[in-house]
Structure 1
Amino acid sequence: MGSFYIINHKLRIIGKLNNRQIVLKKVKVHNLKGIDLTLNPFELIVFTGVSGSGKSSLAFDTIFQEGQRRYIETLPHSAKRYIEEIAKVDAEVILGLSPTIAIEQKTVHKTPRSTVGTIT
């Protein structure tokens, strides 16, 4: 049996969904123009492509952002009032996403006297 979700008051069915899969449908973020994607967690997943092809948009502005937003929704109102609201990702469907953590690449300016504590 497929998984069901409701959009615009219409019942739609997407194909068989493994309970552990992450499914993204019609994602429209920056250079991503309505892409569909199914990811299998617990596998190494790499996004590659030329500059401007949407790698960061997919990883940070879609998957990470939506995972964070959903996590914050689970917090009590007393905690949410101290957290800046995160906008919902422009996608028709995002299923199977758990809370997310992201590690961004950034240049570290270190000196010979730098320690882990001074550069983090």
Structure 2
Amino acid sequence: MLTKISVRGAREHNLKDVDIDIPRDTLTVITGLSGSGKSSLAFDTIYAEGQRRYVESLSAYARQFLELMQKPDVDHIEGLSPAISIEQKTTSRNPRSTVATVTEIYDYMRLLWARVGIPYSPATGEPIAAQTVSQMVDRVMALPEGTRLYLLAPVVRGRKGEYRK
């Protein structure tokens, strides 16, 4: 597993053959004087190459809808993953905005967690699993006689006939 992003010979804009190793899976801050190449390194070199490689990995059909970024002026970059970039100028004025909402990946992440995640009962800590109607009936019928229970169902208004999702 790669532990760093290696950039060799970066010459984008005002960079002059910059070589740098950036540790992965950590928060890294790039600082320097105005015009020293911080944005050229972060956005125009590292992000541009990560985004370009990601778009190249998509099908030809998907690529036709996306703009392919130009390859940055760099000898070699290793250890990149698909990248998300947020520039200071593009942030929302909404105080509830997050990285996910600003970059528009929030809905995709919700789908991912809903499909991949395993829900647990907050009362028992047991995993929650889908059941068929017959499984539910069997569980209710197996309860001791006189057991009280709640039977809940969605209320459907404004629709005639049988409700189906």
CA distance in 2: counterparts of 1:109 and 1:101, whole angstroms: 16
- Cα pair distance change 1:83/1:33, threshold 3 Å: same
Q: TM-score, normalization: structure 2?
A: 0.54
CA distance in 2: counterparts of 1:89 and 1:33, whole angstroms: 13
Shift of 1:64: 0.8
Return the match for 2:65 from 58, 69, 82.
Answer: 82
Counting matched residue pairs gives 98
1:55 corresponding residue in structure 2: 38
- Cα pair distance change 1:51/1:81, threshold 3 Å: same
Percent identity over the alignment? 47
RMSD, matched Cα: 2.2
Q: TM-score, normalization: structure 1?
A: 0.73
**Which structure's relative contact order is higher, taking Cα pairs within 8 Å and 6+ residues apart?**
1
Amino acid at match of 1:24: V
2:5 corresponding residue in structure 1: 22
Amino acid at match of 2:58: L
CA distance in 2: counterparts of 1:55 and 1:88, whole angstroms: 18
Structure with greater strand percent: 1
What SS class does the counterpart of residue 24 from structure 1 fall into?
strand
The aligned runs of 1:29-108 (5 Å cut-off) are 29-106=12-89
- Cα pair distance change 1:89/1:108, threshold 3 Å: closer
Shift of 1:107: 7.4
Shift of 1:42: 1.4
CA distance in 1: counterparts of 2:79 and 2:86, whole angstroms: 21
